Chain A
Amino acid sequence: MPPEKLGFFRKLIAGLGKRLYWRISKKMNLFMLSSMAYGVTKKYEEIFEGDTGMAIDTFTEQFVNGANSIMYELLPRMKFFFSKSLEDVEFLSDVAMYVILGAKWKKFFGQPIFIPAEKAEDHIPKLIIRFVRCVLCTGLRPGKDIDQAKLRKNSYGELLSRALVSLMQLIQDYVGNEYTLEVKETKCQLRGDSYGEGIVYYLPKKK
């Protein structure tokens, strides 16, 4: 049974655990990972005869499935740190980012900001995630490497927010909260914004 809210002890253990996990996990070059996403997208673009939108949507779907399998692998170890309170999502996002990118995660992502329903104009709880240096857009030449005009459902960097939201949805389902999470990308470096931004909406689950 998950707790209503994370206490000091669980947060302390999570803080130590994320460092230990990062230290013992196998790591690779981040530009390598970024380039993998680019390489797969370009190959898919060729397979779909120049349809960049179809290429990105296909890979986004595959990446999200991969991210979900990470959560299934980590769930037995991570569930101790889940709670029903949305107030803990900022803390949990910090732990998740650290597990994936180590202490340098703040170089690439801003601290996620949670806005509770009572403080939101539309009364929908939300989490704002900023990509200070987008790990996917960095190094790209807009219009040349990826043509924004050819996009369909997803933008190029959206697979990161979609993967993150998919993980958060699994957590919400696990703790028994009745939310459906949706993400909207509001800013993108490839479109000319100075940073990327995704807003995660915690919508009441339709019965």
Chain B
Amino acid sequence: MEGTTRIGNTQDLFDAQVNQMVAKRALPEVVAFLFTKRGADQAKEDLRDIANIITHRLLLVWAPKKRKPVEIIKEMMLVFFGNKKIKGKILDRINKKPWKIAIRDYDCPICPNKKGEEVIIKGLHYCVPVSGAMEAVLKYMIDNNLVSFKKVKAETVKSTGSGDPYCEHILTLDYST
């Protein structure tokens, strides 16, 4: 069994749901640990790395059906977090193709959603793993030639956890080869 065989059937887990509070309550401890041990900049990178590992595991059993960037993100957020409150706004285009897109999340699965529970950490948005997951999914689409853009960068610029009215992630797409 050592090495290659995976335990059980991952599809069983993928088809089931869990109360979101479990992740929401465990994450503050992780963020605090990374921030204290590694500093804000490195903690941000660490959280994005964690999101990358998570997303690659999920891509073992799931792949987006949509092909437009905003639609892909909406599909991802619904499948991963049951989140339907995502809005995409194209900020700029090149040759009619969107290259800068704002993804606004009005129901962040990670940030505290009650007034007064904000966790303001200087230089670190609480839901930075979400943009890490977005980037990993879009890179998967690029690697499998499923979209026309060739590079992607996702960055979290606003978060309810830091006191903003909504979370915002900026996608920057590059169509050049």
Query: Interface on A for B, CB 8 Å cutoff?
Result: 22, 25-36, 38-40, 42-43, 47, 58-59, 62-63, 65-67, 69-70, 73, 99-102, 104, 107-108, 133-135, 137-144, 189-190, 192
- Range of interface residues on B (Cβ < 8 Å): 35 or more
> Contact between A28 and B6 (Cβ–Cβ < 8 Å)?
no
| Interface of chain B: mostly helix, strand, loop or mixed | helix
List 6 tightest A-B contacts by C-beta distance, closest first. Answer: A62-B29, A66-B26, A138-B8, A39-B53, A66-B25, A31-B13
Q: Knowing A27-B20, A32-B58 touch, does A139 contact B28 (C-beta < 8 A)?
A: no
- Give every chain B residue within 8 A of A144 (Cβ-Cβ): 2-4
> Contact between B19 and A133 (Cβ–Cβ < 8 Å)?
no
> Contact between B8 and A134 (Cβ–Cβ < 8 Å)?
yes
Closest residue of chain A to B2 (Cβ to Cβ) is A143
14 more contacts with CB within 8 A, not counting A30-B16, A133-B8, are: A28-B20, A29-B82, A30-B13, A30-B17, A31-B13, A32-B54, A36-B54, A39-B50, A63-B29, A70-B25, A100-B22, A104-B16, A141-B5, A143-B2
Q: Is B109 positioned at the interface, with any CB of A under 8 Å from its CB?
A: yes
Interface readout for B1-42 with A: 1 if CB under 8 Å, 0 if not?
111111111101110111111110111111001000110000
> Contact between B17 and A102 (Cβ–Cβ < 8 Å)?
yes
Q: How many Å from the CB of B124 to the closest CB on chain A?
A: 15
